[in-house]
Amino acid sequence: MTATSVPEAPPRVRAGAATVVAAAAVALLALAPFVLDPAALGTLGRIVYYALLAASLDLLVGITGLPSLAHAGYFAVGAYTAGLVAKDVSALAVVALPAAVLAAGAAAALTGWLTVRSGGIFFLMLTLAIGEIIFLLAESLEDVTGGSNGLFGIPLMEVVPGSDALDQPALRYWFVLAVFFLGFGVLWAIARSPFGLALRGIHGNQERMRALGYSPRVYKFAAFCIAGAVAGLAGALLAAHQQGVTPADAAFGTAVLALVSVIIGGAGTLWGPCLGAAIVVLVRDQIGPSLGGHGPLLLGVVFVAAVYLLPGGIAGAVGRWRRS
C-alpha cells in the first residue's frame, strides 16, 4: 500500500454501515404519515407497491438473467384476484392477499414452463406476447374484470376478523408498507440462499452450471414462478390501496416502467430497483402532469442519462462510492 492510498473499510464495517442506512430508511418510511399530507402519502403508497413489483422483476432480470415483459400481467392477475375476492368472498387481508399470490403464481407457472425453454430475443418476445394476452383478457372479460372501465368498488381490506377497515390513509399506507417488507424480505432471503446463488451462477455461465449438475431450466422456472407470485402480491397492494384495477395495470407500459425501474436502480441488487421505482413514479405522477404531456419524454431522458452516466444504475454508483 502506497503512502497516498486509502485502505478499504473492512467488510464488517461496510455491512454495519449498510444496516444503519437500511434502518434509517425503514424508520423514515414508517414515520411518513406524521409529516406528509394525504396526497403525498398516496404517492408514497404507490411508490411502495411499484417498488415491490420492480424488486420481484429484478429476481428475473438481475439475478437470473431473464428480461421479462410479462411481469405486468402477473401484477394485474394479483390485483384483479384480490379485488374480486374482497368484493365477493371476504375483505380480510389474510384471504385476499394469499389468493392473489396463488393466482399470480399459477399464471406464472402456466406460462413459465414454455418461456424458460427459450432464451434471448425469443424469451423476450414470448413474455411480451403473454403480457399482451393478459391485457386483452382484462379488457374483454367484462363480466369479471369490468372490461375497459376497470374493476372498482373494491371494499377496504380488514387486517383481522372483526377489526375496522383500513379507512384512513395512514392505516392503508402502513398496511401496504408492512406487506411490502414481507414480500421484499422473501426476495432478499431467496437471493442470498443457495438457490439464489445458483440462479446467479446460471446467469453468469449456464453451461458451467449444467456441467456441475444443475438444471438451469428447473431453476429458471422456479424463479419465474416466485417472481410472478410476488408481483401478484404487489398487485394485491395496488387493489387495496386505490380500491380499483384497470387493464392499464396489465398493459405493456406498466411492464416497461417496471423494467426501467430495474435498470435505473441497478439490476441484481433488489433494493436498487426500489429506488428506481421511486424515481419512475415521481416523474410519471408528480412531475409529468405539469409538463404539458411531456412526462414520458422526461422519463426517457432520465433513463438514457442513467444508462450512460450510471453504469450499473444507482446501486452500482453507490457500490463504487463505498469502495472508494
91-121 pLDDT, tens per residue?
899 999 999 999 999 999 999 988 998 888 8
For residues 250 and 134, the answer to whether their CB atoms sit within 8 Å is yes
Report if residue 323 sits inside a domain. no
> Residue 65 above 50 pLDDT?
yes
- Asked whether residue 5 is domain-assigned, the answer is no
Residue 235 lies in domain: 40-249
Q: Is residue 110 part of a domain?
A: yes
In a domain, 52, yes or no: yes
Give backbone dihedrals phi and psi of 110, rounded to 5 degrees, phi first. Answer: -65, -30
| Average pLDDT rounded to a whole number, residues 248-276 | 92
State how many domains the chain has.
1
Helix (H) or strand (E) holding 152: strand 151-152
Query: Nearest-CA neighbor of 54 among 237, 276, 283?
Result: 276
pLDDT, one tens digit per residue, over 169-217 is 899 999 999 999 999 999 999 999 999 999 999 999 999 999 999 999 9
- pLDDT band of residue 5 (cuts 50, 70, 90) is very low
Residue 308 maps to a domain: no
pLDDT category, 11, cuts 50, 70, 90? low
Residues with Cβ within 8 Å of 238's Cβ and at least 6 positions away in sequence, in order, are 49, 75, 79, 245, 249
Distance (Å, whole) CA 305 – CA 314: 11
In a domain, 1, yes or no: no
Q: What does the DSSP assignment read for 197-258?
A: HHHHHHHH-HHHHHHTT--HHHHHHHHHHHHHHHHHHHHHHHHHHHSEE-GGGGSHHHHHHH
- Tell me what pLDDT residue 238 has: 96
Q: Identify whether 21 is part of a domain.
A: no
Residue 236 resides in a domain: yes
- What's this model's pTM, rounded to 2 decimal places? 0.92
Q: What is the pLDDT of residue 181?
A: 96
